[in-house]
Structure 1
Amino acid sequence: MAKTERKKALRGRAGRMQGGRGSGRASTGQVRLWGHHAVEAALNNPERRHHKLWATREAIEQLDGELPQDFTVEYAGMPDLDRLVARDAPHQGLVLDCAALDDVFLDQVLKAEPDRPLLVLDQVTDPHNVGAILRSAAAFGAAAIVTQDRHAPPEGGVIGKAASGALEVVPWVRVVNLARALEDMAAAGYWRIGLAGEAETTLAQALPAGPVALVLGAEGPGMRHNVASHCDALARLPIGEDMESLNVSNAAAIALYAVATR
């Protein structure tokens, strides 16, 4: 699309600023995303229902692709956009209100591509970590991330910005009971490996040739006992003695790389 045509396509209504500062939930059932990669990926995702975009004219020029037909755009200055997002959030001139993505169910994922790993997160609640994990999951071809619905952050702007577009491409399965979900994975033929710093076996030694589900716990407490007991093996990353542990998002990236290169 030519730049002049794109300018016309992206022209929207100007009006008063609406909404207020927040963490990413614009209202019930609605998500607020910000940042170039997060917003661009959401706009290009046919599964995402969009409502309204606030943007600077400069940021609009940098977007790749066309906005949905009859899409509402409100041009605004950077100070106005600052008031729509979490304090000091790097929105890069783009703030999007949209609907949350539709639910993805575990049986859908288990029937998909067993050669791609699953990533199970046990009470990882920091949205920056979950967003970074989504980004690594997209980079290394994970089939999905699986979390418990009550002990995981909601979909929103902080996760979207940290995921850098991966929120739109990596399925996110929320389950009521992680232990039961791990049982379903075993029944589908997945080898479940929990990452634990105290394990004697390294991840490379524990990796099977077939389908694998990697299980990571929150920083500090790690996996809960019931979740760990539903793993087929516990394994550690071979880090040096000077460092006790890694950030959970870094550990996830390394583990996914190990699976991709086994």
Structure 2
Amino acid sequence: MTAAHAGIPPEATGCVSSRSLFACSSDAIVLCGIESWVPLRLAERRALRVGRLVAISRHTAQRFRDANPEFAGVTVDVCHPGLPARPANISVALEPAALIVGRLAADEGYKGHELLLHAWPRILERHPDARLWIVGDGDDRPRLESVTARLGLRHAVTFTGRVSDQELDALYRRCRFFVMPSRHEGFGLVFLEAMRAGKACIGAAGAASEIIEHGVSGLIVEPAPDDVRDAVVRLFDEPDTCARFGQAGAARFRAEFTDARFRARFALVVPAAGVPPPLPAADRCA
């Protein structure tokens, strides 16, 4: 199986167009995220008529059908991705910090970075020591740093830029919880990273609700400043609840979202394709 999200590799271009919509194999075409939420060109529609369709989330499958009503009656199987399991290394963080991980790209403003920045002044009214750690880099970083300065948040917000896997693992361990109120997420591997580290998650309605069980392993909110502010304040207010959510998330990760579980799911959905290799790690900081 060839996986693609931010660009179709050369070996896949015979299966679909060069636009970054899909991953593909000889047996299945996988709808990977928001790039597949748009109307298809003729060549792409023809390609999709050939293979079996698999989506990485129910949300992505529905958004694909909404944009391409001619596929309304076509079966789209759902196969949630997974990440490699790791030995339990869960820590109860002492630092009052929330973590968000993702590209700071102007064309990915839906991730929720600016939304968090605008919510943070009111969070500081309740928790003056609350910190926001922003991991990642991109062409929108200078503008977001300017927003941070304009809001008077330089003391409370840290832009780490790109970090190594080891540094990122340490940030997951040290943070209190993970938050990414993204409005348009095809799945959200970063939520799995946080759950693997035993951290509660805050996500927005959509694909995140297929990962985060609201009120069990985290909170699902509307991507609006007041809703995000209330969820963040709650997890700072209630450390026991935050820890309980994190423990439940770690258990859910082990049960549902390891790469072994992904391989088993994919083999059931596309038996002829056999067991695929693991999906590539999320391009968290590109």
TM range (shorter): 0.3 to 0.5
TM-score of the superposed pair, with normalisation by structure 2: 0.33
Bigger strand fraction: 1
Instruction: Name which one, 1 or 2, has greater alpha-carbon Rg.
Output: 1
More helix per residue: 1 or 2? 2
